[in-house]
Amino acid sequence: MNYAWMETPIGRLLLISDDNGLRRIDFANGNSRPDAAWHDNPAALKETIGQLGAYFASELKEFDVPLAPEGTQFQKNVWRCLCEIPYGETISYGELARHVGNPKASRAVGLANGANPIPIIIPCHRVIGSDGKLTGYGGGLSVKETLLSLEAQGRAR
């Protein structure tokens, strides 16, 4: 595994990849630490760092780095559907459950959304409550709000 730290407008991120692609993005909220067996290798994550930098500068709306998240088949299906939510738009958990093909699975979809190991690039921040309110986010609600505001400004360009 390779890792690199990245400073962003939402704080420090820990990026983790292997030969298959990007495995995780962790918010550096005090709990994120690289495993001792991993290699500090920013060069291996150069493309991801570049695309995230362009995203935060509102110059990139769609990522195309290779992804290799680990999860169940259901989780991977939810994460694939998350990637289909257009930049700057939001949907509810119920809508996401319909996209996944199981309209009654909004609770399970919410759990899969919360287990997303590659936030930002797999845009789980674009899922909100059915009442339009922001709901939980691994990086905190202020980070979710910042990402949605960034995308709203980027859409206006």
User: Which pLDDT score is estimated for 132?
Assistant: 86
CA 122 to chain centre: 4
Q: Write b or e for each residue in 22-57: b if 16 or more Cβ atoms lie within 10 A of its Cβ, otherwise e.
A: bbbbbbbeeebebeeeeeeeeebbeebbebbeebbe
- pTM over the 0.85 mark: yes
Give, to the nearest 10 degrees, the angle between helix 73-82 and helix 93-100: 110
Nearest to 147 by CA among 20, 4, 8: 8
| Predicted confidence band of residue 157 (pLDDT cuts 50, 70, 90) | low
Let me know: does 61 contact 17? Beta carbons within 8 Å. no
**What distances in angstroms separate CA 69 from CA 62, 88, 97, one per listed residue?**
18, 23, 20
| Predicted confidence band of residue 31 (pLDDT cuts 50, 70, 90) | confident
Determine the Cα–Cα distance for residues 137 and 118; give it in Å rounded to an integer.
12
Bridge partners of residue 128, in order along the sequence: 92
User: Which pLDDT score is estimated for 48?
Assistant: 98
User: Which pLDDT score is estimated for 130?
Assistant: 86
**Active-site residue identified among 25, 122, 124, 147:** 124
Other CB atoms within 10 Å distance of the CB of residue 127: 26
pLDDT tens column, 107-139: 999 999 999 999 999 999 999 988 888 888 888
Determine the Cα–Cα distance for residues 40 and 61; give it in Å rounded to an integer.
28
Q: What angle do CA 130, 127, 134 make, to 5 degrees?
A: 65
Concerning whether 124 is annotated as a catalytic residue, the answer is yes
pLDDT tens column, 51-96: 999 999 999 999 999 999 999 999 999 999 999 999 999 999 999 9
Q: Is the pLDDT of residue 30 over 70?
A: no
Rounded mean pLDDT, 100-106: 90
